[in-house]
Amino acid sequence: MGRSRVEVGVGLFVILGALALGYLSVKLGRVELLGRGGYTVSANFPSVGGLKSGSSVEIAGVEIGRVEKIRLVNDEAEVVLWINDSIKLPDDSIASIKTKGLIGEKYIRVSPGGSDKIIKPNGRIREVEAPVDIEELLSKYIFGKV
Amino acid sequence: MNAAPSWILDLVALVGRLALNMAAALGRFGLFLAQAVVFMLTPPFKGRQLLSRIHFIGFNSLVIIVLTGAFTGMVLGLQVFITLSRFGSEAFLGPAVALSLIRELGPVLAALMVTGRAGSALTAEIGIMRITEQIDALTVMALNPYRYLVVPSIVAGLITFPLMTAIFDTVGIFGGYLVGVKLLGLSRGTYFGEMTTFVDLGDIATGVWKSLSFGVLVTWVCAYKGFYVGHGAEGVARATTQAVVLSSVLILVWDYFLGSVLQ
């Protein structure tokens, strides 16, 4: 009896620990367990200041994907976006880099266009809008060259 | 030789002796782990012993881990909320609680609590086996004391510490939720939503690496101190104190180094 109590205790402990670890990494670390249903598209920005891989991609404030990676191609930033399978983007959609709140983190906002054609997996969003540089804007305002 | 007064030579010899003793102790400490690793990687493995060590270090520490985790999270929730509300940024309570728990407090506090509860007992147990010649008896019976006592403890440390840290973190996050959301009136969505945005897998990996290394550190120090215990009851008492003090200090020092390497 003593032996089996040890086994039950260890089992309980391991299960609890694994559940806690799983909770942390799935809920907070965003590990996707059941293969991620989705496709990637890319977009070239003149500047991505502050955007990180893992930043969210949103339409109308609803998260539809994440930034997968950012790399430099021909002096431009190529951002690869992972988009949820259920979302189809018209090929005249506009991707813009926005800030959450005044000093919050950067995310990509996609404004879907009205075209009938949709962007295929591994395609490209051609219309982009660079982030607003608040510092530059302020200095322009102060020195009167708006 | 006669040129130098003899007390100078005595002093030099004293320094030399201290240095040699220290080097010998450090070497023995390192060899102890090296030997344990060799036996850890070669069969036969003592499964039954490992199971009872996991039960002793892990399962029996559950209550204290849950208790300290809950109160750590609640205190964090309270204090961080008060600080953040001065800047009007209470919304960042979730990430602040989660990041400080996952990166620092979870691994360190869980390791310190387990050192106090299980590490001291481990040193005392192995120390008493040593002074009552049970370890010699094991050797006489051709049972390797490393395999039988040391390896199961270290492996159990490796298995239990990350799991206990995860439990500590999770309970702490819900403790912070209790205070921040239920008591101080932050919205539930803000607490968890911002947390999900700011915590990423790298933070969790940092916590896991820390707790893995603490698992080895604590069981290594405590088993070593018990294995090379002094004489009699007094020796066991001294070894136990040393084991707890040394483990705790090493946990904090190592935490700083690891924290600056894993950013």
Domain boundaries, chain A: 1-31, 38-133
How would you label B110-124 residue by residue, b for 16+ Cβ within 10 Å and e otherwise? bbbbbbebbbbbbbb
In a domain, B112, yes or no: yes
In this model, does residue A1 exceed pLDDT 60? no
Query: CB A17 to CB B163 under 8 A?
Result: yes
Q: Which chain A residues have a beta carbon less than 8 Å from that of B163?
A: 13-14, 16-18, 20-21
At A132, list the tokens. 């607003």
Q: Which chain A residues have a beta carbon less than 8 Å from that of B159?
A: 14
Question: What is the predicted ipTM?
Answer: 0.74
Interface test with chain A among B48, B54, B170, by most A beta carbons within 10 Å: B170
Query: CB A10 to CB B166 under 8 A?
Result: no
Confidence (pTM): 0.77
Task: Check residue B42 and give its pLDDT.
Answer: 82
Of all residues in chain A, the one with the smallest CA distance to B170 is A20
Task: Check residue A33 and give its pLDDT.
Answer: 54
In a domain, B71, yes or no: yes
- Under the banding of pLDDT at 50, 70 and 90, the label for residue A34 is low
The minimal CB distance from B163 to the residues A18, A27, A28 is found for A18
Query: CB A54 to CB B163 under 8 A?
Result: no
Question: What would the pLDDT profile of A37-63 be if each residue is shown by its tens digit?
Answer: 788 888 888 888 778 777 888 888 888
Helices assigned H by DSSP within chain B: 6-41, 47-57, 62-86, 93-99, 106-114, 120-131, 134-140, 145, 151-177, 188-198, 201-227, 232-261
Task: Check residue B176 and give its pLDDT.
Answer: 92
Element housing A54 (H / E): none
Q: Which residues of B touch A (CB under 8 A)?
A: 51-52, 54-55, 58-60, 62, 98, 102, 159-160, 162-164, 166-167, 169-171, 195-197, 199-201, 203-204, 208
Percentage of chain B lying above the pLDDT 90 cut: 52
Tell me whether A105 touches chain B (CB under 8 Å). Answer: yes
At A123, list the tokens. 């395609």
In a domain, B121, yes or no: yes
In this model, does residue A31 exceed pLDDT 90? no
Tell me whether A14 touches chain B (CB under 8 Å). Answer: yes
In this model, does residue A36 exceed pLDDT 80? no
**Interatomic CA distance for residues B154 and B32, integer angstroms:** 12
Residues B224 and B29: beta-carbon distance below 8 Å: yes
Which of these ranges, A30-44, A122-136, B48-62, has the smallest mean pLDDT?
A30-44
Task: Check residue B162 and give its pLDDT.
Answer: 93
**Interatomic CA distance for residues B6 and B77, integer angstroms:** 64
Residue type at position A126: R
In this model, does residue B78 exceed pLDDT 90? yes
Total domains in the fold of chain B: 1
**Interatomic CA distance for residues A59 and A65, integer angstroms:** 9
Query: CB B51 to CB A23 under 8 A?
Result: no
For range B11-30, the mean pLDDT: 91
Query: CB A30 to CB B201 under 8 A?
Result: yes
Which of these, A137, A134, A62, A66, lies nearest to A102 by C-alpha position? Answer: A134
In this model, does residue B4 exceed pLDDT 70? no
Give how far A28 is from chain B: nearest CA, Å.
5
**Interatomic CA distance for residues A53 and A107, integer angstroms:** 10
Task: Check residue B218 and give its pLDDT.
Answer: 94
Question: What would the pLDDT profile of B93-125 be if each residue is shown by its tens digit?
Answer: 888 999 999 999 999 999 999 999 999 999 999
The minimal CB distance from B196 to the residues A10, A13, A27 is found for A27
Tell me whether A34 touches chain B (CB under 8 Å). Answer: no
In a domain, B21, yes or no: no
Which of these ranges, A74-78, A97-101, B100-104, B236-240, has the smallest mean pLDDT?
A97-101
The minimal CB distance from B58 to the residues A7, A13, A23 is found for A13
Which of these ranges, B182-196, B198-212, B232-246, has the smallest mean pLDDT?
B182-196
Interface test with chain A among B99, B163, B171, B208, by most A beta carbons within 10 Å: B163
Task: Note down the domain range covering B139.
Answer: 46-261
What is the 3 state secondary structure string of A74-138?
CCEEEEEEEEECCCCCECCCEEEEEECCCCCCEEEEEECCCCCCECCCCCEECEEECCCCHHHHH
- Under the banding of pLDDT at 50, 70 and 90, the label for residue A26 is confident
For range B187-210, the mean pLDDT: 85
Query: CB A6 to CB B166 under 8 A?
Result: no
